[in-house]
Amino acid sequence: MFESIRDQRVAYIVDKEILDLDGIDDPGHVAVFEYWDRVRRARVGPPVGEFRLEALPPAIIPSTAVIDFLGPPMDFRYRFFGTHMVQVAGQELTGKRYFADNIEGFGFVNAEVLPMMIERREPVYSRTRWISVKDLKFTTASIRLPLSEDGETITGGVVVDRFTPGHEA
């Protein structure tokens, strides 16, 4: 659906790759991962109430989203959608459901990668080259971290993106 012909004015993926967690090279991603790992303890992920955005470095909060998983069928709701993400997406998504609200132009990589995080039961680090609905090129490095209300079932996630204009090599 999102990898459509460019003249239809939708965002689309040029390419994406799943990266090794040992290769996290962004200081913000490292800080979020280390904080998440501390608060999760031996659980698959911490409950959303224990993952405190204010404990993160202030510079990365605008590029952070907190997501609740809903379903079946699978859907996700943006509990929090940072201000920099609003700028890149061109829309405020806090409180919106991805599939039920027919969100277009942003979140399509989450729709593909979040199920992978749920299946693997672990964080997923990725890099995506994409073109926005405004025909702008971006490279986004993202870390997706599971949240769990009972310590076992993944009930949500935290996504932190680093947006770079253009397509990095």
CATH number of 127's domain: 3.30.450.20
- List of residues 6+ apart from 18 with CB closer than 8 A: 113, 116, 124, 125, 126
* Predicted TM-score (pTM) of this structure: 0.88
The pLDDT of residue 169 is 53
**Domain around 155:** 6-165
For residue 6, name the pLDDT band (cuts at 50, 70, 90): very low
**What is the average per-residue pLDDT within 131-143?**
86
- pLDDT band at residue 7, thresholds of 50, 70 and 90? very low
Report pLDDT digits (tens) over 39-68.
999 999 999 999 999 999 999 999 999 999
Burial 121-130 (b: 16+ CB within 10 A, else e): eebbbbbbbb
pLDDT at 10: 62
Q: Is residue 154 part of a domain?
A: yes
Domain count, the chain: 1
Determine the average pLDDT of the residues in 100-122.
89
Assigned domain for 14 exists: yes
pLDDT value at 97 more than 90: yes
Q: Is residue 130 part of a domain?
A: yes
Specify if 1 maps to a domain: no
Q: Is the pLDDT of residue 104 over 70?
A: yes
